[in-house]
Amino acid sequence: MFAWFHKLTAPKNFYRFASTINPWIGALCFILILSGLYLGLFKAPPDYQQGESYRIIFVHVPSAWMSMFVYMVMACAAFMTLVWRYKLAGIITEASAAIGASFTFLALATGSLWGKPMWGTWWVWDARLTSELILLFLYLGYIALNSAIENKKTATRASALLVLVGVINIPIIHYSVEWWYTLHQPATVTKMDKPSIHLDMLIPLLLMALGFTFFYVFTLLLKVRTLLIMREQKSKWVQELLEHGES
């Protein structure tokens, strides 16, 4: 298993692997998101307290989940970059940053739209919202630092260290509603006993979460392939790829 993984991390092998599976991932992503939106917007019943306005949950919650998930993927890749010096791990970290920042911004924007009718204001310095905003700054800080340093190896190591330092914010986001008094509602899906959400609402929510996950993987592989071509443009395998007109 380790030998297969080590072989896959070679830029040439990973590029061909990504090219093969990405169309299938894209198709699955499209089906999941389309199904989740249809069930969430048209089939799920209105909430007994929030009425129809709660339906933003089907975008807001998966976005918030993905904002943390993508950062943890970056943290794992950053650790592999610093410890084992995998070139591919650094590229995955770099490719994930803009995607994670987009998910975080979407979570904050939809949360603001949801908060206005529920709380009567667009923004409050709630523990969950504030820590999520810090996560956005961490993403943007990584992007800025990685772009500011001209030497690519130095930039990769320095920005990887920043990612690992920022990991401390992830449990703060997750447990903020339990640690401090907050307007944000507690967990309804990830409770240990059973989710306190109707099954007709839970199914589209999980479909959207899966759809967003596959969207991340699909977009990540596209970006990684592009970065691999840019970084390895002088290598033999890229030259052969260009000669044969492959993409």
Task: Give domain status of residue 7, yes or no.
Answer: no
| Greater pLDDT, 118 or 93 | 93
Note if the pTM is more than 0.75.
yes
Task: Give domain status of residue 81, yes or no.
Answer: yes
The Cα–Cα gap between 85 and 90 comes to 8
Task: Give domain status of residue 70, yes or no.
Answer: yes
> Which of 130, 129, 90, 119 has the alpha carbon at shortest distance from 9?
90
Residues above pLDDT 70, as percent of the chain: 91
The Cα–Cα gap between 103 and 90 comes to 20
Q: How many domains does one find in the chain?
A: 1
Task: Give domain status of residue 145, yes or no.
Answer: yes
Task: Give domain status of residue 188, yes or no.
Answer: yes
Range of the domain at 186: 20-243
Task: Give domain status of residue 223, yes or no.
Answer: yes
| Whole-number CA gyration radius for the chain | 20
Task: Give domain status of residue 5, yes or no.
Answer: no
Write the pLDDT tens digit of every residue in 176-214: 877 666 655 565 555 445 556 889 999 999 999 999 999
Write the pLDDT tens digit of every residue in 74-103: 999 999 999 999 899 999 999 999 999 999
In single-letter form, the type of residue at position 104 comes to T
Task: Give domain status of residue 12, yes or no.
Answer: no
